[in-house]
Amino acid sequence: MGRKKQEDNPANDFDFDFGNIEVPEFDPAIFDIIPNTAEPDETRYTNPKVYEAKPQYILYENADKLAKELTINKGERADVFVSGAFIFGDFIEAYIVQRNAKVKRMTITTLSLSQENTDSLRNLLVGGYVDELNLIVSVYFYSHERWSLIPYIYEKLDIDDKFQMAVCATHTKTCTFETSGGRKIIIHGSANLRSSGNIEQFTIEENEELYNFYNENTDKIIESYKTINKPVRDSKLWSIITKKKFND
């Protein structure tokens, strides 16, 4: 985990285990396609360098453990590599619950998610940790889960008009949330909410400018591709009425 202002790396205290992922022995000879007989400045293609990954670039296997030990202060960021056993959705829930954070608004974009991820997000809504949750999923996921997981998502997350789901041709994996204390957190990387069996990476940082940039674009997607029709109420309704009146 590369992180600003960090002196110690607790992840270096143990060997990283990739679980049941089969990693074949690496044979550098497979790259010996073009003989390297010419002088270096006359060779267009060269063999790739073979090297071992350094321990500090390999981090956590357990989402709860990382959420407990990772602290992001104002203006800081952390870059994380995780194993295929790591469940990104579990990390989001654990990070918020362990800090007893109150989140005013959370937006998640993902290619796919699981039933367990849905239950995890429900815990945040029912537990009062998140006031508003927006979920953007891919057309691919929606089409494959339309008659199974999609109804389950609506059933479990559509609570008191706190939830909205949008469906579009997306491949992004992000999570942004703003706490009641004004902290604006962005998490972005290669990991979907559920485990993939692959090594993944993500970055988590507190950055108001980047947060606003992400939300400006995801808000446009939500407005255009939302799937839940919500009634217009209270102050928003009054604003629409008065705006129409004065515009007329």
Q: What angle do CA 232, 238, 241 make, to 5 degrees?
A: 95
Work out the number of other CB atoms within 10 angstroms of the CB of residue 117: 25
Give 179-235 pLDDT, tens digit per residue: 999 999 999 999 888 877 788 889 999 999 999 999 999 999 999 999 999 876 665
Residue 122 has pLDDT above 90, yes or no: yes
Give 44-61 pLDDT, tens digit per residue: 555 554 443 333 333 466
**3 closest CA partner among 160, 204, 172:** 204
pLDDT score for 226: 95
* CB neighbour list of residue 157: distance below 8 Å, 6 or more residues apart: 118, 121, 122, 125, 133, 135, 163, 165
Amino acid, res. 241? I
Q: Enter the pTM of the model.
A: 0.70
Residues 163 and 122: their CA atoms lie apart, in Å, by 10
